[in-house]
Structure 1
Amino acid sequence: MWLAAPTDLKLLPYDVHIWRIDLERPEPELQALEATLSSDEIARARRFYFQQHQQRFIAGRGILRAILGRYLGVEPQAVRFEYEPRGKPILGDTYIHSGLSFNLSHSQDLAVCAVSINRVIGVDIEYIRSVSDVEALAKRFFSPREYAVVRSLPPQQQQKVFFRYWTCKEAYLKATGVGLVQLEQVEISLTPEEPAKLTTDEQWSLIELLPADNYVGAVAVEGFELDLKCWQY
């Protein structure tokens, strides 16, 4: 599923490109990636208490710049970002008119970047970890129908389904720039055997991802007729 990207990378109107990024990079590469970051990104990295979290942030933002630079035909350090009111990064400066839309998500030592053109896009991944109060969280953040699905499952299935719901909701909310404040207002239809569907907005496509063992993810894209390609950075 995750292939090496071609050297002549092209993004057509129906394309959705998903990049899988290993955030554990060797020190020389981290230094090279840090050199491409802006001063505010470096300051943000320094605010992380643990060095591992600093390094993962540097890897994620540096590789994001490298990926976007390939589409824009510029060096990574030339990429400029602006931020929407709730913090979603978008391309800024002269690149705001490129039509390129992107979103980045990370969990543990893995990140995914979703890219499209002239379509709003959002992506989320989560490492499936043990959540002791999964039913209580589902009752708080999910719709009654979603909560009923989680509650009906045996414990060994509840965790994965919970995170499937979560990533699908967050991918859509990240795409729209709303944030988690409306998590319970986004309704998803899924079962352990059936893929997810977004039932609260029929103008969007929702695609679940399997980034790696013990991870789940989802990408939400405005519109339909998509050609999904998954690249390994």
Structure 2
Amino acid sequence: MTALNSKTITLKQLAKTIDHSLLTPDLNEEDVKAGCELAARYQVASVCVKPWDVRLAAGVLAGTDVKVGTVIGFPHGSSTMETKVFEARKAIEDGAVELDMVINIGAMRSGQYDYVRKEIHEVVEAARGKALVKVILENAYLTKEEIARGSQLVEEAGADFVKTSTGFAPTGATIDDLKLMRESVSEKVKIKAAHGIRTLDSLLEVIDAGATRVGARSTAAMLDEFAARYPDRLG
């Protein structure tokens, strides 16, 4: 498959890179419904909602091709392994088909790589055949060596994506980190960028750096700008 790039990507393809983020703590039921309706209107890849909102999102998006995703161990990754597995099973039961889990950041920084690998693997097993698993490293707290090793652990554990950030740390996706993550895993593992992608130019930049999914809240503004800027690439 030809890699996506900013020079040839179409509006439809670009929309399908976006996981529309509905994770801020202040969102009420009407906000979540409106966000899901926006996601369906723009035909993005998925919405990423809080666990409490999975059933609501699944109902609103029934009959569309927009997937329902949620978060596990969010936002700090400090839940026990058993809690993360329970969260994964409950989310799937409620209708989620994509799971964005946060690693145990403290364990990663302590060099407890076997634990981090096992934790990811246990969530992958809970989701097997039912949901994609995207693993959030939270790069803001890791060294370059830890980002590379964390990406490798994600692949060793059998997850589908390695992701930069939660959106709740001091910094988010950087181009250097995305390139490092891409270089650290095989093509079997995809890359998701999140936190700080608020403009069309930043969205296209992370696509060129290897991301095939992007967590974003400025979905409508970015896709509308793309349509206006590239009217020959709407298909």
Output the TM-score relative to the length of structure 1: 0.33
TM-score (norm 2): 0.32
For the pair shown, the structure with the greater C-alpha radius of gyration is 1
